[in-house]
A and B are shown apart, each in its own frame.
Chain A
């Protein structure tokens, strides 16, 4: 008998890989074969017709981090969904936003939520902010086989580090590489545009309201330049979503507040033109 056996591990993700690989991301189960076959049948086309999620960003303010994302999912040149959610509450002090293939993205968010809750229940304490960020990196790495099938999942993770008493932003690459950002970051097809807006307006020690305004205008600019990113939809009343992570925990920014901010932003731009 080995001491400290694998079974005493507090990770739900590892448990799933061992016990139910068919449910784990990364196509370690029978899914892998069927996808591979489907691809060959289509003559080796590398892009699958799956909904793709688009601009998400995170921005630090004085007491934490604002994380926001647009609502559009596209499938080729079609809009697959107008009100998809790309920003997820993970636990009391962290959130993640994802760009990539919608299905695997949603799966990873759900698995990461379960992972952190599982650890907390088994060990009696929460993982550190650093620990959570590293674990997410391993999950992204496990998805690597699916990347070659065109199913990319790239997250941004934000958390409030209770030990350091500051908000933190982590970005990832497809191999699970984890990089910490000091001020702001955006990913997705409109990420570049959003980053340039934030570069222009970002200052250290922003207030929460200013950070939110910059985040929303960055998403607005991204939607103007990128077909894959949805702007505020005034007809249907669909607006990007945002969450604020601070020392007191995570809270959603109410839709009416976002709608008002967008109305003000649009009025301002009308004046300028």
Chain B
């Protein structure tokens, strides 16, 4: 009887991680950045109907990079989690931290137990009410979770975008216009081309809005903002 080949666990994990990273790097980047009234999310996305950024709950937004079918499923699961929690308890009990933890658990389990890891990187952002701080969580394909400050980048050549932004996000509070210009510059820098407003998906979590804080900025508005 032929013996099954032995492959060390390290090798298995490394292969899976490489596979997932390759899949995620193929896509385009998404940047989230804090501005004076909330959080701005900008995705390099030529499609006007297949979204990468979405509303999850009153003050929480989701964005996913990598394989569309996979992060779309995660997005739906997140909305179900949030709506069920808000319905069972209260709207204010739905938090980005608990959602990010749930994502981290699921992604971690899938990474270690399934043959094929999910080729996704996701971002959960929550705008703080009043004087509360904003929260941004970046969750990787293996379930590792990173709490980001000021800005976060996922998907595509995210490291290059991060390096670009690191020195430039220096001002304590950016206006929406400044933050948007900076986000677009950072995406331009890695794609080596000038991105047009039609090719960008833009949304904000605006803490000055009553109730649901999420709002999409459509191309006419975003091109005006870009000036």
Give A contacts to B, CB under 8 Å. 8, 12, 15-16, 19-20, 23, 110-111, 114, 117-118, 121-122, 124
Q: Is the pair B79, A118 in contact by a Cβ cutoff of 8 Å? A: yes
8 nearest CB pairs, A to B: A118-B83, A121-B79, A114-B87, A121-B55, A12-B83, A114-B83, A122-B76, A122-B79
Give B contacts to A, CB under 8 Å. 49, 51, 54-56, 76, 79-80, 83-84, 86-88
Q: How far is the CA of A110 from the CA of B86 in the complex (A)?
A: 11
Apart from A12-B83, A16-B84, A20-B84: 8 A-B pairs, beta carbons within 8 A: A8-B76, A12-B87, A15-B80, A19-B84, A118-B80, A121-B83, A124-B49, A124-B51
How many contacts between A and B, using CB within 8 angstroms? 33
B interface: dominant SS: helix
Q: How far is the CA of A117 from the CA of B60 in the complex (A)?
A: 14
A interface: dominant SS: helix
Q: How far is the CA of A20 from the CA of B55 in the complex (A)?
A: 23
Q: Is the pair B88, A23 in contact by a Cβ cutoff of 8 Å? A: yes
Q: Is the pair A111, B87 in contact by a Cβ cutoff of 8 Å? A: yes
Separation in Å of the A51 CB from the closest CB of chain B?
22
Q: How far is the CA of A124 from the CA of B87 in the complex (A)?
A: 20
9 contacts across the A-B interface (CB closer than 8 A): A12-B83, A12-B84, A16-B84, A16-B87, A20-B84, A117-B83, A121-B55, A124-B51, A124-B54
Q: How far is the CA of A15 from the CA of B80 in the complex (A)?
A: 8
Nearest neighbor of B214 in chain A, beta-carbon distance = A121
Q: How far is the CA of A118 from the CA of B81 in the complex (A)?
A: 11
Separation in Å of the A127 CB from the closest CB of chain B?
15
Q: Is the pair B54, A121 in contact by a Cβ cutoff of 8 Å? A: yes
Q: In the assembled complex, which residues on chain A have CB atoms less than 8 Å from the CB atom of B54? A: 121, 124
Separation in Å of the A169 CB from the closest CB of chain B?
25
Q: How far is the CA of A122 from the CA of B84 in the complex (A)?
A: 14
Q: In the assembled complex, which residues on chain A have CB atoms less than 8 Å from the CB atom of B87? A: 12, 16, 23, 110-111, 114
Nearest neighbor of B78 in chain A, beta-carbon distance = A121
Nearest neighbor of A120 in chain B, beta-carbon distance = B55
